[in-house]
Amino acid sequence: MRKTVIRSAAAAILVLCAGSFGIHAQDASEKEIERYREMISDPMSNPGYLAVDRGEALWGEARGTKNVSLETCNLGLGAGKLEGAFAQLPRYFADADKVMDLEQRLLWCMQNIQGLDTKDVIARRFSGPGRASDMEDLVAYIANKSNGMKIDIPLSHPKEQEMAAVGEALFYRRGGVNDFSCATCHADEGKRIRLQGLPNFSKPGKPAQETMGGWPTYRVSQGALRTMQHRLWDCFRQQRWPVPEYGSDVLTALTSFLQKQAVAGELNVPSIKR
Amino acid sequence: MKRVLTLAALVLAAGSFTSAASAQIAAKAPDPALVDAYMKSTFGKAPAEWQARIEPDETLKTCNAYHNEVPSAEADKITARELARVVYPGDGKFLGNWKEGAKIANNGRGGQFSDPPDTVAGGNCYACHQMEQKEVSYGTLGPSLTNYGKDRKYDPQEIKNAFTKVYDSQAVFACSNMPRFGVNKVLSEQQIKDIVAFLFDPESPINK
């Protein structure tokens, strides 16, 4: 039953997306998608919640050479404490002496707590047809435990400050055959590329809050739950830059910067987006 | 009269505010060596040719340092440097085939890591500009170019300026968000001529 509801809702959105040709059609379909979003934030009909369920099972599953679960992994608020942890990431972890986002931290816990060889997990970092992603599922589950909470990343440690400052510099760093940076597409109010609206992240406030409060998200166009790592991978593609290495520092730095612009934004995830 | 003066004062004040703000941006930026270390951790395994593409040249270094809000002295240096990089057609002709130009303007492929290596890159102009009236899928990062040639009375100097602009946008406007198509070898001389014809041919749908 649950699956059928999800399917038909997703299908309805796909039709809406496919129909959005003209600008007016686009506006209308944005409104329709908005309406669907409201309907679909109910866990019974947002397909992203299937990932949440899978993530919950993975979190408790004993794996690796040590054959233990991730349940003692400390995401910043204490071993195994998930409520509110995602709202405060990226942050500095003394045991790794590093600022990490959720995905980097999960890989660290898999390697250090479970003794898991993460090669396969990294190979499946983005799901595809017939290929589930542990990372997407775990992120969906853990991020969901911050719902209703406000983004509030710690910036008191010098390494946290460095991460956000480098993130800002990277946001404006131009390159590639088109001389693009994030700022080319995301530093002005009310702009669009072709027909796609572009949120302005150059200053703190609503566009950043609403955006970051909605990731991870179920992307209807891809039929998959996606994390910020995937969104940035996709934007680097559009930026005509090389493939960014998964779970690496430029991505964490940009995420820190975006989270800083989004402070006080409320999380409601997994959301559902085009 | 008083109004005019107040307005002038406001404009002046706004101008000096911008340069103070941009000086501040440059001052609080992290050490470039630190940023490079981050870059290496994320892109260090990319093929050498790809890494070379994201190495900023002198112009981009300045744009990056000021978040594109360059003070006028730096802006002058950039436009002079970039103008010297424009290679004008040997035959002195700027106008190619507008029909080809229309296709190039609408083609957004090329340069992405998901593109096959032999992809012929387009100009992707519609990503940022309105052009032909009948094309409704256009972006707004740049100004509308509808009626571009007609509005400029097909003036030969304007035609040359447009060639310059597309070849190297920063020869005209320092730290423009527009790509430098000729300098970065995204578009060939012939493709740029075709694009200029799309803008300036009286038969082009841009001018209809």
Q: Which of A23, A177, A249 sits opposite B42 (nearest CB)?
A: A249
For A139-166, what is the mean pLDDT? 98
Q: Which pairing describes strands A224-226 and A91-93: parallel, antiparallel, or unpaired?
A: unpaired
Question: Which residue among the candidates A28, A235, A250, A263 is catalytic per the annotation?
Answer: A235
Confidence band (pLDDT; 50, 70, 90) for A45?
A: confident
Q: What is the mean pLDDT of residues A112-127?
A: 98
Contact A177 B46 (CB under 8 A): no
Chain A contacts of B124, Cβ < 8 Å? 178
Residue A180 confidence (pLDDT): 98
Domain boundaries, chain B: 31-208
- CA neighbours within 13 Å on the CB side: how many for B205? 12
Mutate to test the interface with A, among B22, B24, B42, B112 (most CBs of A within 10 A): B42
Over residues A54-65, mean pLDDT = 98
A66 has a pLDDT exceeding 60 = yes
Smallest CA-to-CA distance from A263 within A139, A149, A179, A160 is with A149
Provide the residue ranges of all domains of chain A, joining segments of one domain with +. Answer: 39-272
Residue A65 scores a pLDDT above 70: yes
Q: Which of B108, B112, B177 sits opposite A184 (nearest CB)?
A: B177
User: Please, are residues A255 and A90 in contact by the beta-carbon 8 Å criterion?
Assistant: yes
Q: Based on the residue annotation, tell me whether A17 is a catalytic residue of this protein.
A: no
- Is A101's pLDDT higher than 70? yes
The interface predicted TM-score of the complex, written ipTM, equals 0.89
The secondary structure of residue A113, as a DSSP letter, is I
CB contact under 8 A, B139 and A173: no
Q: Is A189 on the interface with B (CB under 8 A)?
A: no
Tell me the average confidence (pLDDT) per consecutive run of 10 residues in chain B, 208 residues long.
39 45 69 96 97 98 97 98 98 98 96 93 97 94 98 98 98 98 98 98 97
Q: What is the pLDDT of residues A192-234, one digit of tens each?
A: 999 899 999 999 999 999 999 999 999 999 999 999 999 999 9
Q: Mean per-residue pLDDT for A40-67?
A: 90
At B30, give phi and psi (nearest 5°). -70, 160
CA distance B2 to chain A (A): 33
The pLDDT, as a whole number, for residue A179 is 98
Q: Which of residues 14-73 of B touch A (CB under 8 A)?
A: 28-30, 34-35, 38-39, 41-47, 50-51, 53-56, 60, 63-64, 67-68
The beta-carbon neighbor of B64 closest among A174, A185, A244 is A174
How many C-beta atoms lie closer than 10 Å to residue A203's C-beta? Answer: 10
Q: Decide if pLDDT at A48 tops 90.
A: yes
* Mean pLDDT estimate for chain A: 90
Does the domain formed by B31-208 have CATH 3.40.50.300?
A: no
Q: What pLDDT, on the 0 to 100 scale, is given for residue A1?
A: 34
User: Residue B112 and residue A237: Cβ atoms within 8 Å?
Assistant: yes
Upper half-sphere CA count for residue B29 (Cβ side, 13 Å):
24
Contact between residue B94 and residue B196 where contact means Cβ atoms under 8 Å apart: yes
d(Cα B194, Cα B184) in Å, to the nearest integer?
18
CATH number for the domain formed by residue range(s) A39-272: 1.10.760.10
pLDDT, residue A12, reads 41
Residue A250: is its pLDDT beyond 80?
A: yes
Instruction: Return the closest-CA partner of residue B38 out of A167, A236, A181.
Output: A167
A241 touching B (Cβ < 8 Å): yes
Does the pLDDT at position A36 exceed 90? no
